[in-house]
Amino acid sequence: MLIEISKLWLNETLLKMAFDEYTHCIKAVFKEADSILQCPPHTPAGFDVRMGAIPDAFYTIRRNLFSTLFQSVYHLLKIPESRRLLYGKLNHLFRIWVTSADNLLDNEDKIVVPMEIAGSSRVMRQVISIMLADRILKNVTDQAVQNKTLTEEQAATLTHKTLQILLPSAAEEASEEKGITHRPDSDYVLQTIHRLKTGLLFHVPFLGIDAIETGLDCEIVAQCKDGLMSFGIGCQILDDIRDLAKDYLEKRHNYLLSHIYADKPLYLAKLHEIESVIDVNSNVFHLFPDVVRPAADKALQFLTDGLLSLGSAGLGINRNAAKFLSLGMFDILGVGELIQCLSA
């Protein structure tokens, strides 16, 4: 299904244009990174740091589905090309900031900036990536001012807001860092926690739209915001299904776990029973069908509604395409086996 999903995304003319444009933005960001990531002359052998080779996978539609949706919004809103490209670069910098921070918090090592550096250096690579992205932001906004794409005041506004917009999500992550002490109601997790944790990140593309754009169609802006928020929440529910064991062991917020703790004592007993024989990578969601299946249905509804909102805004996605693309997200997010369990 993954190959079919990629083809369908790229068959949509506007999505294909958005994907090509975002690919250009990735290359521009990495070009800046290469020019900045240079050690001083005469650095001793073995202590050099430089950009590594960019994997071909970095430029695939599968890796850039969300960013392609974000870039398509700028086309729907008829934003001039110069600022579309600027916002695309900012979106890629957000990927570096957010993924590097997640790597540090979750002891992971997802590569967002390929670099050559001594040792395994998982932590230091994340630190350098975040610092590097800040320098790239300075270069990108300076160039935008020079090219008359931004005024100096607009550049300063965007620079400050790239941090400010992430602070509520950062606070939510901070609340989970040492593990939560109780599980709130599942509706609270869905409507508050997950809107801060993930939904907010799907509104990052509106940074420039909200801060400096004028004269946009407010109805289309609202449709795009609603669509991306819904799509993001749907993805987070699928993440919660996949990460059931991880979130249980690490005491993280999880929509399904809140439901289990409140309403499913037998499932809670089962979690306690298997706790000693599972790890964070264990696939356990098949053990809890009465919670997982309704959650999968809810995720599909959020994903489909999100894409239909974007379709209504002009993206050209009808109900059949929206559902097919939404089902594809089950595969992409690692829970493809649930497709056969869906109600409709």
The model's pLDDT over 31-40, given as tens digits with 9 standing for 90+, comes to 999 999 999 9
Phi, psi of 121 (to 5 degrees): 45, 45
pLDDT tier for residue 121 given thresholds of 50, 70 and 90: confident
pLDDT reading at 11 higher than 90: no
pLDDT tens by residue, 172-184: 999 998 999 999 9
Residue type (1 letter), 339: I
Q: Which two tokens stand for residue 288?
A: 């809890």
3-state helix, strand, coil in the chain (%, to 5): 75, 0, 25
**pTM of the predicted protein model:** 0.93
pLDDT tier for residue 4 given thresholds of 50, 70 and 90: low
pLDDT tens by residue, 236-278: 999 999 999 999 999 999 999 999 999 999 999 999 999 999 9
pLDDT reading at 344 higher than 80: no
pLDDT tier for residue 8 given thresholds of 50, 70 and 90: low
Residue 150 contacts by C-beta under 8 Å, 6 or more apart in sequence? Answer: 83, 86, 141, 144, 158, 212
Q: In angstroms, rounded to a whole number, what is the distance separating the alpha carbons of residues 30 and 154?
A: 24
Residue type (1 letter), 147: N
Task: Output the average pLDDT for the chain.
Answer: 93
pLDDT tens by residue, 90-105: 999 999 999 999 999 9
Q: In angstroms, rounded to a whole number, what is the distance separating the alpha carbons of residues 17 and 68?
A: 9
Q: Tell me which of 81-90, 101-110, 142-151 is least confident.
A: 101-110
pLDDT reading at 7 higher than 80: no
C-alpha torsion angle, residues 140, 146, 150, 155 (rounded to 10): 50
SS3 of residue 116 by DSSP: strand
**Helix (H) or strand (E) segment spanning residue 50:** strand 50-51
* CA–centroid distance for 315 within its chain: 20
**Helix (H) or strand (E) segment spanning residue 189:** none
**Would you state the pLDDT for residue 190?**
95
pLDDT reading at 201 higher than 60: yes
Q: In angstroms, rounded to a whole number, what is the distance separating the alpha carbons of residues 277 and 232?
A: 32
pLDDT reading at 343 higher than 80: no
Q: Which two tokens stand for residue 256?
A: 């399904």
pLDDT reading at 231 higher than 70: yes
pLDDT tier for residue 3 given thresholds of 50, 70 and 90: very low
pLDDT tier for residue 5 given thresholds of 50, 70 and 90: low
**Is residue 238 within 8 Å of residue 289, measured between CB atoms?**
no
Q: Using a pLDDT cut of 90, give the percent of the chain over it.
A: 84
Distances from the Cα of 238 to the Cα of 4, 245, 299, 319, 338, angstroms:
20, 13, 6, 20, 10
**DSSP string of 289-331?**
HHHHHHHHHHHHHHHHHHHHHHIIIII---HHHHHHHHHHHHH
Look at phi and psi of residue 172 and say left if phi exceeds 0, alpha if psi is from -120 to 50, else beta: alpha
In this structure, the number of other CB atoms found within 10 A of the CB of residue 179 comes to 9
